[in-house]
Amino acid sequence: MPSSPSVKIRPSVAFVLSFLVLIGIGALVLMLPFTTTQEGGLSFIDALFMAASAGCVTGLAVVDTAQDLTVAGQVVILVLFQIGGLGILAFTTFFAALLNAELQHHHTRMIPDYLDGETLGSARALLIRIVLLTVLIEAGTFLVIMYSWGDYPFSGWGERVFYSFFHAASAFCNAGFSLFSQGFYEPIVREMYVLHALTSVAIVLGSLGFATLNNIFSPRQLRQRMEKPWIDWKLSTKIAVNTTILLLVIGTLGFYWLEQDNTLADMNLTESLITSFFQSATARTAGFSTVDIGQITIPALVLMMFLMFIGGSSGSTAGGIKTSTFFLLVASVIATSRGSSQVEVGKRHISRSVIFKALSIFFYGIAINLIGVFILSISEPQLSLTDLTFEQVSAFGTVGLSRGITTSLSDVGKMVIIATMFLGRVGTLTFAIALSTQATSQNYKLPQEELMVG
């Protein structure tokens, strides 16, 4: 018997559709009365906003997750950001398998772009490792958080366990949702510096990317490096780790320097450094905060927007243009300044196509934010441009930090932020995937033309 025809679908399309389906189902469930304490349930626009924010692991909220949602509603949010946090590999692999997609060779090239050399065959095995890795890290984070609450007045062990698991998953998935109305700035919680430090570690791990974590921590990789110590990390892993460390240091020292006489004024040196490190880590896509964002000075806000725009590493739960894009842009600028016609990193030549991808993603991110701020400035004339810009960049970086204006947005403003969160989560990735397809070979070369630049 002839086999039934398989569905042909591009992984990039599958990725976008999977997020749309996730957000759509989430919005419909959140509109049901049992998910909220509000009479009549959430409106469509508010339910869509919350579902998009959770599915895109952002953390911006138009209702109070702690007060306006029931336990059932909070579980829905948890499920949404847990699924959304698994990222591009989990979605594309699952969706392709679900539809029995017959991927053409030039379409499968998007898999190695995000798995760093993994083949399509091994991608399915890597999906299992991603789930296991997620479970292990979240379980470890859950345990350390559960015993870091100190004397916080929970109603019982059940509430303590639920709060611990919710925040552990939210931290690793870089979702930024909290069961406290003021997040980690909640009274009592804001002074739990051990909790802040441990949560920061989970945030950083989530922002590194699954391929990076697999390259560093997988038993096979660890065993191989023990047997052959000369084997080094992959170049992409080095870029992800080193750029992350650099940004964390810049963010920590910069925030401390700019805020030591403001939001950090009542803290000692250790508390100030932990708080600064927390803001540096969370600004790169997590969305938690242990200070009042509304009181932060303008220079510190600019620093945080810079970190939010860059985001985390490729293939991670983070948003932004990604650390690899930022690194390649800096490397290309340095190479151009030195008069070099090619970019070399770690004794490796970076192809021009990869540099063009980085430039395209950077331009794409700039364009989204400029358009978003422009529309918001029209739809929200009562709000300051600083607050709107911060909100817009936070949405694009799927961060979730806000100056407290989210609930004040009009329906048009909410739709702009929803679109930005969606594009920030899937847009740059999908754009990179589209650019990663095999270019049609050309047996001719057009005449070269020199243009003035600068």
pLDDT at 344: 78
pLDDT at 316: 79
The letter for the amino acid at 104 is Q
Segment among 24-33, 101-110, 146-155, 249-258 with least mean pLDDT: 101-110
Q: Is the pLDDT of residue 435 over 70?
A: no
pLDDT at 443: 59
Residue the block writes with tokens 């804001």:
190
List Cβ neighbours of 216 (8 Å cut-off, separation of 6 or more).
Answer: 233, 237, 241
Query: Cα–Cα distance between 198 and 445 in angstroms, integer?
Result: 56
- Residue 70 or 113, more confident: 70
Residue 345, beta-bridge partner list: 348
Mind listing the pLDDT tens digit for each residue in 19-76? 888 899 999 999 999 999 988 889 999 999 999 999 999 999 999 999 999 999 999 9
Domain ranges for the chain = 11-435
What would the two tokens of residue 329 be?
């842009």
Residue the block writes with tokens 């460390």:
245
pLDDT at 402: 93
Mind listing the pLDDT tens digit for each residue in 239-286? 889 999 999 999 999 999 999 999 999 999 999 999 999 999 999 888
Residue 182: burial class (beta carbons within 10 Å; 0-12, 13-18, 19+): middle
List the one residue out of 199, 210, 280 whose CA is nearest residue 244: 280
Query: Cα–Cα distance between 168 and 173 in angstroms, integer?
Result: 8
Per-position b or e across 74-94, b if 16+ CB within 10 A of its CB: bebbbbbbbbbbbbbbbbbbb
| Residue-averaged pLDDT of the chain | 83
List the one residue out of 48, 39, 137, 125 whose CA is nearest residue 85: 137
Confidence of residue 100 (pLDDT cuts 50, 70, 90): very low
Q: Give me the phi and psi of 345, to 5 degrees please.
A: -135, 125
Q: Is the pLDDT of residue 448 over 80?
A: no
Mind listing the pLDDT tens digit for each residue in 402-420? 999 999 999 999 999 999 9
Query: Cα–Cα distance between 145 and 142 in angstroms, integer?
Result: 5
Confidence of residue 112 (pLDDT cuts 50, 70, 90): very low
Residue the block writes with tokens 């109070």:
64
For residue 10, is it left (φ>0), alpha (ψ between -120 and 50) or beta? beta
Virtual CA dihedral for 41, 175, 287, 46, nearest 10 degrees?
-20
**Ranked by mean pLDDT, which of 137-151, 248-262, 313-327 comes out on top?**
248-262
The letter for the amino acid at 365 is G
Query: Cα–Cα distance between 184 and 59 in angstroms, integer?
Result: 13
Query: Cα–Cα distance between 254 and 148 in angstroms, integer?
Result: 28
pLDDT at 392: 96
Task: Determine contact, residues 131/82, Cβ cutoff 8 Å.
Answer: no
Task: Determine contact, residues 205/317, Cβ cutoff 8 Å.
Answer: no
pLDDT at 432: 52
SS3 146: helix
Q: Is the pLDDT of residue 94 over 60?
A: no
Residue 245: burial class (beta carbons within 10 Å; 0-12, 13-18, 19+): exposed
List the one residue out of 350, 356, 326 whose CA is nearest residue 431: 356
Task: Determine contact, residues 264/278, Cβ cutoff 8 Å.
Answer: no
Q: What is the DSSP code (8-state) at residue 231? A: P
